[in-house]
Structure 1
């Protein structure tokens, strides 16, 4: 089975009464980023008992200009004005179009195990409430909320319980299914673990079922994702980062799968860091395993590094590891992307 075949969407459908014509479900998003969730939604197509269901973009919002430009280019070039580039705190929810499905990956900064773990006491922790406002106003049939696994332990577990309660009680009330997914078990060539909460309007009498893993025994590897098929030099977002002589020399001592801390570096190439030692610093991919979690920072040795060549991954290689297709073009500078 090829990488492309493995990357096909695995869609879990739920029981519906047979209909005679196609049903279009309208999608709204907060914290939409460049459009990964929307791309998956656009590609989802369910045919059940003669009825067909498709998802179409209605509106999306994010505060990052490059993310909004990327979303508009790839998801909704016509009409691009349905992507609202604005701080969620300033967004007029009542002015948005009605939706059937709502998706939001609310900011994880204050819930992540990497960082100060402020939970609700941080700047980003309470932002999930804007999603609750959307659910109360539009009462969509379905919602999908995504966050880091650290959410379950933030504020001694209190944050997770509070969020679940607020989601359950929003709108007409929702039947929730919360699950920590290991993405490498679902055809993603990356050990990205995320908590996904699916809610279905309780008046529909339906509940989402967690799909069975299908690549647990043979996950996609970094080599398969990046090399099959090869990435053409003309593919967008393939610019390489200029590596300093010191970085090149350091990487030559780091074996595939190792990082700056567990490799045997000469003294002159060791990092002078006394605080927390992140495992991803100058960590090279292992070609025969899924990539480790790709992060959005990129600075301080966290770009993600090729297993053979002494260099950082290109944005296109990182996009491959996130399962974005090669024709999905990211807007902005190389550093912004």
Structure 2
């Protein structure tokens, strides 16, 4: 049983790598997998990274570079039919860091192209992903509106949707990364008993969380690993980092006055923040100026892109294409592949009729409001 997958806003391929690695064997011996069919993104470097690692060719014709508005969604002869659909729609207008314009922003409405795919292809299931701030954008109205359109994208197709705030550190990911993932099962299939449930956390206790140091050191990253270039810092930055203990940031009280930052206004906690080697990393981000690159707990330096990729659970042979800053952006925008794999395997188990441990979704209240 192979589900052919379409994808919008593919990024470097975190969701797709998770889907590619997901595999379930049903009691009757039938193998359930997910196979790439086509994808799209506006970032040329992300498209090349995706093509290289997911398709084996950085210029693979099934990876369509360009604005989503120009993708021929209605022309199946150009894209190919699909059984499932994935889209991590842009989070810029929903992020807690920023103005949170939601549906009123430039990027907020782009989810609607995912709705167009559901109307046109009517896939058996879909997976949508966004930041946790989606729940509160536009006073919560944006989330309700998006769920409503995903539940019934057109008059002749409906979906049972299961939104949940996944805390990835509870699933063995060495990073405190919290994301809304919405899984939809086509209603005619759900009525026949194919029901997705939120997979239970694999490491629910904080004592069992995978730490940042374990992810980066075990095994050691080879010196010639791709995307592993170190940053050369100014001496004053090195001196300041040497006064910041693990887990602390640029506002640590023990930094000598001559090395302290002269910053007015908000003091973001992630500025020159060093990892705590005994805890999961804080959230890997893809943008930001000086002091936002994540910092080693022991060495006075920023993490390399390969170390950030380790925190995101990308394997060392996953090569990111582009400049150092372009790679940083890709790593930060991605969904951790090992987290995505858990979600996709739960979906495949649902279709294969295999039971698995589950928890109640966090967004039951929003769903109940829509069903009234």
Q: Same fold (TM over 0.5)?
A: yes
1:36 aligns with 2:21: no
Deviates more, 1:142-151 or 1:255-264: 255-264
1:91 aligns with 2:71: yes
1:68 aligns with 2:47: yes
Secondary structure at the residue paired with 1:291?
coil
Contact kept? 1:253, 1:263, Cα under 8 Å: no
Secondary structure at the residue paired with 1:336?
helix
CA distance in 1: counterparts of 2:110 and 2:100, whole angstroms = 15
**Root-mean-square deviation (Å):** 1.1
CA distance in 2: counterparts of 1:262 and 1:117, whole angstroms = 29
CA distance in 2: counterparts of 1:303 and 1:197, whole angstroms = 29
1:152 aligns with 2:140: no
**1:285-322 Cα distance to aligned partner (Å, 9 max, x none):** 00010000000015221100000000000000000000
Listed as ranges, the matches of 1:145-184 within 5 Å are 145-170=128-153, 172-184=157-169
Q: 1:295 aligns with which of 285, 288, 313?
A: 285
Moved over 3 A (4+): none
Secondary structure at the residue paired with 1:177?
strand
Instruction: Give the CA deviation at 1:267.
Output: 2.0
Tell me, which stretches of 5 or more residues in structure 1 are unaligned? 1-22
1:59 aligns with 2:47: no
1:25 aligns with 2:7: no
CA distance in 1: counterparts of 2:270 and 2:120, whole angstroms = 41
Listed as ranges, the matches of 1:215-234 within 5 Å are 215-217=203-205, 218-234=208-224
Q: TM-score, normalised by structure 2?
A: 0.83
Q: Answer 1 or 2: which has greater helix percent.
A: 2
Partner residue in 2 for 1:117: 100
Tell me, which stretches of 5 or more residues in structure 2 are unaligned? 328-372
**1:203-235 Cα distance to aligned partner (Å, 9 max, x none):** 002221011111122010011100000001011
Q: TM-score, normalised by structure 1?
A: 0.91
Q: 2:250 aligns with which of 256, 260, 279?
A: 260
CA distance in 1: counterparts of 2:94 and 2:251, whole angstroms = 25
Secondary structure at the residue paired with 1:75?
helix
Change (3 A) 1:305 1:168: same
Higher-RCO chain (CA-CA 8 Å, sequence separation at least 6): 2
CA distance in 2: counterparts of 1:29 and 1:121, whole angstroms = 24
Equivalent residues, number: 315
Partner residue in 2 for 1:20: none
